[in-house]
């Protein structure tokens, strides 16, 4: 999976990205505009912003699922054409194949790489163990809880060993305890093998607890990046404990200062919309 | 409700119906039978006739013919429906061009085709298979078309991000999605395959359950007609049970529909 790595080139680089959607009445909706963002290899970057500001849209552009209307996406220095083959994408919605068991969902991710079924299943079982689901290999997605499904999806992506992880509010629908467990699991897996991570969330505390850098997005339309805050908290971190750290609070206060106005603006727009 | 109690009640309804039928056709009330056995037969006569037919080999031959026609009609109709459903779902131009013709063909009442099929394919099994085919094909076709087009965009995007090529997408995403829809209509399409077979036999043939019923009708043998209907009904119930078993096996991954248990 490791391609030619341009020494020093960022894993993901968004340069002057603008994305517009054509609506059904043929008008254009400019979702995001003037986005410049770099994620270094091995860096964990979180993007926070009010709902509907364009976070998923940016991830889709980084994945190559969406063509920006202006600007360039570069992956390790190479302009992206087509799908981003070096990234794994954890979607916001359920993305597992409902007709495959947990094990088959993970094993099938190795098929495009030409790995035989026997070996793929053995490795998939190992990965299910790593995300704490060894005993659930034969379950179909509908027989798993929301948190368990996310873990299967995580194993499905990590088994391919991508150099970049794109994660779209992966723990959004989960309850507080499960979010913590999943956050710690993600940090453990990431510490073992540092990939570049672009992690989208609307939860600022989650962003600070996980990331090296927190990017704040403004409310749409034509949303942009309005803040770039380093998180110099020591690693390894524990999601639950780090929230008690005074430094955490200081960082939270700073970022919340810029985020709050945007959340209120997005909320007011949502109320005003028909 | 307890299963045993429910079953007992269901049997009770059947018994009550048979008893009523028996009394009205055999016991004179006020000097005459309320239902003339010539027109309504009697339950015992029907059972006796069915038993006699089952003991002889003739009925089994008719059953075999009908079963063969049903299976062939289903197999050909399903295959055609799957292939064309896939083609239409994946080729927008094809779908757009042929859309009005498909709709027109489906709107045609299929019974009017039976004589033409008899003309083209003769009075043997193939004219019945053709009739069943025209019924099964459209059900499967529309379901597969729908199934392929309505694959969850997230599941599809995820599979593509996992690096799957067109062939792998077909195998792991489109095909299972289409099969789900097809199986959700399995009962209907197997039922229609049988309808095609029996109606075809009824309208012109030398064998099969439809033929047997038609023969009995032509000589006003009401007992024979009812006996044929009884055999046909049991046949349908058994066929449906087989379909349910197949469906259960193939769709294990689907959440069980919420059933009210009390
Ligand atoms: N396919 C689309 N067509 C039109 N508008 C879209 C489309 N996808 C997203 N949008 C709009 O773009 C904005 C950003 O969406 P999204 O990236 O999903 O937001 P979020 O930050 O919640 O992930 C929203 O206002 C949304 O309504
Ligand atoms: Mg989103």
Residue A8 and residue A10: Cα distance in Å, rounded?
Answer: 6
Of B154, B176, B254, the CB nearest to A91: B154
pLDDT of residue A249: 92
Flag if A65 and B157 touch (Cβ within 8 Å): yes
Around B181, how many Cα atoms within 13 Å sit in the side-chain half-sphere?
A: 22
Q: How many domains, chain A?
A: 2
| ipTM for the whole complex | 0.89
Domain identity same for A261 and A182: yes
- B170 and B89 Cβ atoms separated by less than 8 Å: no
CB neighbour burial string for B52-91, b if at least 16 within 10 angstroms, e if fewer = ebeeeeebeebbebbbebbbbbbebbbebbbebbbbbbee
Residue B152 and residue A212: Cα distance in Å, rounded?
Answer: 34
Domain range for residue A112? 97-161
Give A271's pLDDT tier (boundaries 50, 70, 90). low
In residues, how long is chain B? 262
Nearest CA residue ID for atom 22, ligand 1: A52
In a domain? residue A254: yes
- pTM for the model stands at 0.82
Of B162, B252, B253, the CB nearest to A112: B162
Q: Which residues contact A27 (CB under 8 A, 6 or more apart)?
A: none
pLDDT of residue A1: 45
Q: Structural domain boundaries of chain B?
A: 1-40, 42-250
Residue B169 and residue B71: Cα distance in Å, rounded?
Answer: 30
Q: Is the CB of A54 under 6 A from ligand 1?
A: yes
Q: What percent of chain A has pLDDT over 90?
A: 69
Strands A78-79 and A87-90: unpaired
Give the residue from chain B lying closest to A155, CA to CA.
Answer: B162
Q: Which of A161, A183, A198 is the last residue of a domain?
A: A161
Domain identity same for A10 and A136: no
Q: How many CB atoms lie within 10 A of CB A200?
A: 24
The per-residue pLDDT for range A205-228, each reduced to its tens digit, is 999 999 999 999 988 788 889 889
In a domain? residue A57: yes
pLDDT of residue B158: 96
The per-residue pLDDT for range A147-205, each reduced to its tens digit, is 899 999 999 999 999 999 999 999 887 888 888 888 998 999 899 888 999 999 988 99
Ligand 1 pocket test target in A18, A19, A21 with most atoms within 8 Å of CB: A21
Ion ligand 2: residues, CB within 5 A, are A 56
Residue A112 and residue A121: Cα distance in Å, rounded?
Answer: 14
In a domain? residue A149: yes
Q: Which helix (H) or strand (E) holds A31?
A: strand A28-39
The per-residue pLDDT for range B119-157, each reduced to its tens digit, is 999 889 999 999 999 999 999 999 999 888 889 999 999
Flag if A98 and B254 touch (Cβ within 8 Å): yes
In a domain? residue A238: yes
Domain identity same for A262 and A195: yes
Q: Which of A161, A180, A207 is the last residue of a domain?
A: A161
- A80 and A66 Cβ atoms separated by less than 8 Å: no
Q: Is the pLDDT of residue B25 over 60?
A: yes
- B18 and B202 Cβ atoms separated by less than 8 Å: no
pLDDT of residue B258: 54
pLDDT of residue A274: 47
pLDDT of residue B262: 42
pLDDT of residue A78: 92
Report the CATH number at residue A61. Answer: 3.40.50.300
Domain identity same for A113 and A166: no
Q: Which of A110, A139, A161 is the last residue of a domain?
A: A161
What is the arithmetic mean of pLDDT over A86-97? 94
Report the residue of A1, A61, A63, A97 to disrupt the B interface, i.e. the one with the largest count of B CBs within 10 Å.
A97
Find where tokens 């992966």 sit.
A170
Domain identity same for A120 and A195: no
Give B64's pLDDT tier (boundaries 50, 70, 90). very high
pLDDT of residue A273: 54
Give B214's pLDDT tier (boundaries 50, 70, 90). very high
Report the residue of A56, A64, A85, A98 to disrupt the B interface, i.e. the one with the largest count of B CBs within 10 Å.
A98
Domain identity same for A211 and A268: yes
User: Topology of B42-250 in CATH?
Assistant: MetI-like fold (1.10.3720)
Q: Is the pLDDT of residue B255 over 80?
A: no
Q: What percent of chain B has pLDDT over 90?
A: 55
In a domain? residue A91: no
Nearest CA residue ID for atom 2, ligand 1: A21
Q: Is the CB of A51 under 6 A from ligand 1?
A: yes
The per-residue pLDDT for range A32-86, each reduced to its tens digit, is 999 999 999 999 999 999 888 999 999 999 999 999 999 999 999 999 999 999 9
In a domain? residue A92: no
Domain identity same for A243 and A166: yes
Domain identity same for A217 and A245: yes
Q: Is the pLDDT of residue A118 over 50?
A: yes
Q: Is the pLDDT of residue B168 over 50?
A: yes
């Amino acid at each position: 999976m490791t391609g030619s790595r341009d020494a020093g080139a960022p894993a993901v680089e968004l340069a002057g990205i603008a994305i517009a959607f054509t609506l059904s009445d043929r008008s254009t909706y400019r979702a995001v505009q003037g986005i410049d963002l770099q994620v270094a290899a091995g860096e964990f970057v979180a993007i926070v912003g009010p709902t509907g500001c364009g976070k998923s849209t940016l991830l889709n552009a980084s994945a190559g699922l969406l063509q920006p209307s202006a600007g360039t996406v570069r992956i390790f220095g190479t302009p992206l054409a087509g799908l981003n083959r070096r990234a794994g994408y954890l979607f916001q919605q359920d993305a597992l194949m409902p007709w495959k068991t947990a094990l088959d969902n993970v094993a099938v991710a190795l098929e495009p790489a030409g790995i035989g079924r026997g070996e793929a299943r053995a490795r998939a079982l190992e990965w299910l163990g790593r995300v704490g689901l060894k005993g659930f290999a034969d379950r179909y997605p509908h027989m798993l809880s929301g948190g368990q499904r996310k873990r299967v999806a995580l194993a499905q992506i990590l088994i391919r060993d991508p150099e970049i992880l794109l994660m779209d509010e992966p723990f959004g629908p989960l309850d507080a305890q499960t979010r913590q467990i999943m956050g710690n699991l993600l940090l453990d897996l990431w510490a073992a093998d540092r990939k570049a991570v672009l992690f989208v969330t609307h939860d600022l505390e989650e962003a600070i607890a996980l990331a090296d850098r927190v990017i704040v997005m403004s409310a749409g339309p034509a949303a942009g990046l309005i803040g770039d805050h380093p998180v110099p908290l020591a690693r390894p971190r524990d999601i639950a404990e780090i929230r008690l750290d005074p430094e955490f609070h200081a960082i939270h206060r700073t970022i919340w200062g810029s985020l709050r106005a945007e959340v209120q603006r997005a909320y007011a727009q949502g109320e005003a919309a028909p | 409700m307890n299963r045993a109690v429910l079953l007992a009640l269901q049997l009770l309804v059947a018994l009550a119906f048979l008893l009523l039928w028996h009394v009205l056709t055999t016991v004179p009330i006020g000097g005459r039978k309320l239902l003339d056995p010539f027109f309504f037969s009697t339950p015992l006569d029907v059972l006796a006739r069915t038993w006699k037919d089952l003991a002889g080999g003739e009925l089994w031959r008719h059953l075999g013919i009908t079963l063969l026609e049903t299976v062939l009609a289903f197999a050909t109709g399903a295959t055609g429906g799957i292939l064309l459903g896939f083609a239409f779902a994946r080729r927008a131009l094809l779908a757009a061009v042929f859309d009005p013709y498909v709709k027109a063909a489906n709107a045609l009442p299929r019974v009017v085709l039976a004589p033409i099929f008899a003309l083209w394919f003769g009075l043997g099994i193939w004219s019945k298979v053709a009739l069943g085919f025209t019924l099964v094909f459209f059900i499967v076709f529309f379901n597969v078309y729908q199934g392929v087009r309505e694959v969850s965009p997230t599941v599809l995007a995820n599979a593509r991000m996992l690096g799957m090529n067109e062939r792998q997408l077909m195998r792991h995403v489109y095909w299972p999605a289409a099969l789900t829809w097809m199986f959700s209509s399995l009962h209907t399409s197997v039922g229609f395959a049988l309808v095609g077979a029996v109606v075809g036999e009824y309208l012109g043939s030398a064998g099969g359950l439809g033929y047997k019923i038609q023969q009995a009708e032509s000589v006003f043998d009401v007992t024979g007609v009812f006996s044929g209907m009884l055999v046909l009904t049991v046949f349908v119930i058994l066929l449906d049970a087989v379909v349910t078993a197949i469906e259960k096996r193939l769709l294990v991954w689907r959440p069980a529909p919420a059933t009210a248990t009390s």
